[in-house]
Amino acid sequence: MTTLVICIDRSGAIGRATNVPMPVAGWEAVRSLVTDAGLSDPEDASVNCLLESLRVARDLRDEREEAVVAVVSAESDTAVGADRSIAAQLDDLVDRYDPRAAIVVVDSAEDEQVLPIVESRIPVDSVDRVVVRQARDIESTYYLLKQFLADEQLRSTILVPFGVALLLVPALFYWFSAGEAIAGVAGLLGAALLYKGLAIDRFVAGMPERIREALYAGQVSVVTYVVAGGLALVGGFFGVLSASALSDAPALVEAVEFTYAAVPWFAVAGVTAAVGRLLDELIRGEGIRTPYLNLPFVIAAVALVVRGFAGYFLAQEAIHEPFEVGGLAVSPVQQLAAFIVVGIVVSLMGVKLASDVGTETLEDVIDADRETDGK
């Protein structure tokens, strides 16, 4: 059985330079073709590709393996015409030699695109890419840039944010200081990369469809989500007001004050959204799934613990006065311990209620959500 060593020339440079009918097969024919191509254009990388094909065929023969070296070159200026001419030449070689396998030799990424055409006719054992040693770094960089520019998703992810940032740089330097301009551009690039990297774009793209389905299905959670969003805004507003009242305090203390004031509103918002999902489960009449039943209790428990720690730090800074119960002052440590205990109790209540009433495990819910997203 014969192994066919094929030199691919998708650009058609060899055929135009030598005016030899393609395909060319056989050791002496290809060696003569190398001379003609080299004399026509010594700087053409195709000459190295032809020499590499001869070397591979010689090595196979040294290993007592029957090998035939051949050259196929495109005979059309259009991409479709070039590929069809190469396919016809490959069919000619297959009919002539009936090879059991092929070794493909290429010198560019464009030539390597013909590989599926070869594989559809002959099993390919190896692909040998020839890169001229003096231009190896330049050639490799060219391949990488070409593949990068051919990927539409990478272009939109990398080039578009950088292009927008470069357009904004002159305006930012005109209106702001250099530091503010650089910070603004860095923030823009960071936000754009996170937007794509965290797949937020996919979530945003699918949001209108999910909202439309929820509205048509008459889900109560649509209303509760809106209410939860309003409560979260209120919590943020009160948190900012409370933090701004501490104008002389360090930034860390202001952040803790914001958390202390906003957490109750955030917790009510989360519980409201979770209750809406529970109502949808009840209306559907298929039983309440365990994770959805446990979620409101988890939100409330986490909010209690976070508020307890925030109150403890503020009491230590003498921002808040200690609580009084029955005329007795409660120390910050006792207050923190009470919040932690109540949070744990609320969490255990949720676990107990979910285990008694719930119908599905977390894995079942995840699998069901994946099936729904797949549809």
Residue range 111-129: mean pLDDT, rounded: 90
When pLDDT is averaged across residues 43-56 and rounded to a whole number, the result is 87
Indicate the range of 123-132, 241-250, 287-296 predicted with least confidence. 287-296
Q: Place 55 in a pLDDT band, splitting at 50, 70 and 90.
A: very high
How confident is the model at residue 375, as a pLDDT? 43
Q: b vs e for 132-153, b when ≥16 Cβ sit within 10 Å of the residue's Cβ?
A: eeeeeeebeeebeeeeeeeeee
pLDDT tens digit sequence for 205-221: 777 777 676 666 667 77
- Residue 7 above 90 pLDDT? yes
d(CA 87, CA 81): 10
Query: How many other CB atoms sit within 10 Å of the CB of residue 364?
Result: 13
Per-residue pLDDT tens over the stretch 243-273: 888 777 778 888 888 988 899 999 999 999 8
Say if residue 98 is exposed, middle or buried (CB neighbours under 10 Å; 0-12, 13-18, 19+).
Answer: exposed
pLDDT bracket for residue 124 (50, 70, 90): very high
Omega before residue 264 within 30° of 0, cis? no
Query: Do β-strands 67-73 and 24-25 pair in parallel, antiparallel, or remain unpaired?
Result: antiparallel
Give CA–CA dist 362/216, Å, rounded. 27
Pick the residue with more confidence: 249 or 359?
Answer: 249
* Helix (H) or strand (E) segment spanning residue 69: strand 67-73
pLDDT class for 69, splitting at 50, 70, 90?
very high
pLDDT at 355 over 90: no
What pLDDT, on the 0 to 100 scale, is given for residue 4?
A: 92
The tens digit of pLDDT for each residue in 94-119 reads 999 999 999 999 988 888 889 999 99
Distance CA 131, CA 244 (A): 65
Confidence label for 139 from pLDDT (cuts 50, 70 and 90)? low
For 7, 33, 104, 143, the CA distances from 30, given in Å and listed in that order, are 10, 5, 15, 27
Per-residue model confidence (pLDDT) at position 154: 66
pLDDT in tens, 293-311: 778 888 999 999 999 898 8
**Residue 72 β-bridge partners:** 8
pLDDT greater than 70 at residue 322: no
Q: What is the mean pLDDT of residues 323-335?
A: 74
Alpha-helix runs per DSSP H in 130-199: 136-150, 152-154, 160-175, 178-197
Q: Which residue has the higher pLDDT, 49 or 323?
A: 49
Average pLDDT over residues 313-332: 73
Contact 302, 372 (CB under 8 A): no
| Per-residue confidence (pLDDT) for residue 146, from 0 to 100 | 67
User: Which tops the pLDDT comparison, 204 or 67?
Assistant: 67
pLDDT band at 68 (very low <50, low <70, confident <90, very high): very high
Q: Which of 191-195, 262-266, 285-289, 353-357 bottoms out in mean pLDDT, i.e. has the lowest?
A: 285-289
Report how far residue 375's alpha carbon sits from residue 206's, in angstroms, rounded to the nearest whole number. Answer: 13
pLDDT of residue 331: 81
| Span between the terminal Cα atoms of the chain, in Å | 50
Higher pLDDT, 330 or 40: 40
Say how far apart CA 77 and CA 168 lie, in whole Å.
Answer: 42
* Residue 124 tokens, joined: 């390919």
- Contact status, residue 53 vs residue 69, Cβ threshold 8 Å: yes
Q: What is the pLDDT of residue 218?
A: 61
pTM of the model: 0.46
Strands of the 24-25 sheet, one edge to the other: 24-25, 67-73, 3-9, 101-106, 124-129
